[in-house]
Amino acid sequence: MGNRLLSFLVASVAFGGLAEAKTVIHVMHQGDPGWVSTYGEVAKRFEAANPDVDIELIYAPHDAYNEKFSAAVMSKQLPDVMELDAPFLANYVWSGYLQPIKPLIDQDVIDDMTESNVAQGTYPIDKELYAVGLTDSSVVLYGNRKYLEAIGARIPKSVDDAWTREEFEGYLEKLSNLDGVKWPIDTFRGYGIKTEWITYAYGPILQSAGCDLIDRKTWKSVGTLDSDPCVDALTMMQKWVKNGWVVPQSSGTNQFFAEGHPAALALGGHWFYAEAAASMKDDIVVMPLPKFGQKSASPNGTWIWGITTASEHPDIAGKFVSFMLKDKAFRDYAKEDSAYPGLKSFAAGSPLYADGGAMAVAFEQASKTAIARPPHPAYPIITSAFMGAVDEIFNGGDVKAALTAAAEKIDEDIEENDGYPPFDEQ
C-alpha cells in the first residue's frame, strides 16, 4: 500500500503531474499474524472499491502498543484511524486524541451495536460515542470434563448456577491430588504485566468479593483497593499460588489444552475457545466465572476503532471503518476465531454464542455480570499500579502493603492532575 503510493507519486511526476495524488489514510493496529493478514486483505478490498484512497497500515505489537502510541503523540504523527483497548478510551478522549465517531460511521452500523459495545466506546463525561467495534469480550472458566467427573464436581449451566468460592477452592484442592493433573488451574500468568490481562481478568474477582480498584464515585483508591475485601481476595489468590495450584508464569500461556492437558481448569478469554475445543473435543466444559462473594462479576471491553482529532480526512477514515465492520471475509475470520459479538448482525451469525451454543454462558455474562474497567483518565496508572501489586503478591509480597502502595500511587496521580477535571466534579 505504502509502496504502491510511492510508485503512484513517481508515475505522476514522470507524466507531468497529470494525475492527482491519492488520499492516504493511516491505520494503527495490533493483533496476531492472522488478524494482521486479515486487516491487510480488507485494506486491499477497500482500495479496490475506492481507487482514490490508499490505506497505510501501521502495526504495533500488542504488549508495546501504548508505548508506540505515546511515541506517535510525541512526534505529532497520530494516525487517522487507531485501534484502542476500550478501558484506555477515557484517557485518550480527555487528552484530546479522539473525536466523536457517530457522525462519521454508517448509521446502520451504529444501529447494529449491542448495548455493551456502545458502553465500551462511550466517554462518561459527554456521553458521546468515540469508538466502535465488531466485537466485545469476556472471560469464562474452562474445565476438563474428564477431570471434573473424576472428582465429582458439579458443572454449572448458567451464570445463576456459578460455583461459590467454597466450591471452587474445594475443587482446586481435590484436583491437586488427582492423577494426571499437574496444576489445578491456568490463570494465564504467562501473559505477564505488559498487557491488560491481570486487571481485565482478575479485577472481577475483587468486584465479586465486594471491592474494586477505585471508588467510582469519589475516584479515590485508598480505602477501596486496600480494603478488607480486596486484601482477603488477593490473599486467597496468593494461597492458590503458594499451594502450587496455579500454572507458573514460566510455563507459558497455555497448559490447559497443551499436550497431555496438565491443567484441569483455565480462567481464559473467549478467544481461547477455538483452539481449546480443537484439542479437547468433548472434554471441554465452558462455565461461568465463580461467585467469590455476594455477587458475580465478569469483564468486558476489547480492542475497538476510533478516529483521531489529527485526521485531515475523518469522513474517509469513517468510511473505511464502516467498510471493515461490514466486510464479509473480515467477519468470517472473526467467527472462526470465536470472536465475541459486539454487533447484533454478527451475533445472529455466531451460533457459538446463541442459546444452546458452546459459549452461550459467556454471552449471558455480558448482560448479567459484566463490569467495565474504571472509565477514568487515570486508568493507565490504575492498571499499571494494580498489575504491579498483583505481581508482587504472587511472588510472596505482603498483600496489604502491596495494595496500599498501589492505591496511594493511583491517588497521587489523580491529585497531581487536579482530579482530571471535570471528573473531579462527578
CA dist., res. 145 & res. 123, Å (int): 42
Positions in the chain whose pLDDT score sits under 50? 1-18
Mode of pairing for the β-strands spanning 23-29 and 81-85: parallel
Q: What is the pLDDT of residue 143?
A: 98
Q: What is the pLDDT of residue 263?
A: 98
Q: What is the pLDDT of residue 193?
A: 85
CA dist., res. 327 & res. 339, Å (int): 15
- Coil, strand, or helix at residue 412? helix
Q: What is the pLDDT of residue 401?
A: 98
Q: What is the pLDDT of residue 66?
A: 86
CA dist., res. 129 & res. 118, Å (int): 7
Contact 319, 110 (CB under 8 A): no
Q: What is the pLDDT of residue 20?
A: 65
pLDDT tens figures, 54-86: 999 999 998 889 889 999 999 999 999 999 999
Q: What is the pLDDT of residue 292?
A: 98
CA dist., res. 78 & res. 89, Å (int): 15
Residue with cell 474497567: 373
Q: Is 215 exposed, middle or buried (0-12, 13-18, 19+ CB in 10 A)?
A: middle
Closest CA to 196 of 55, 1, 335, 379: 379
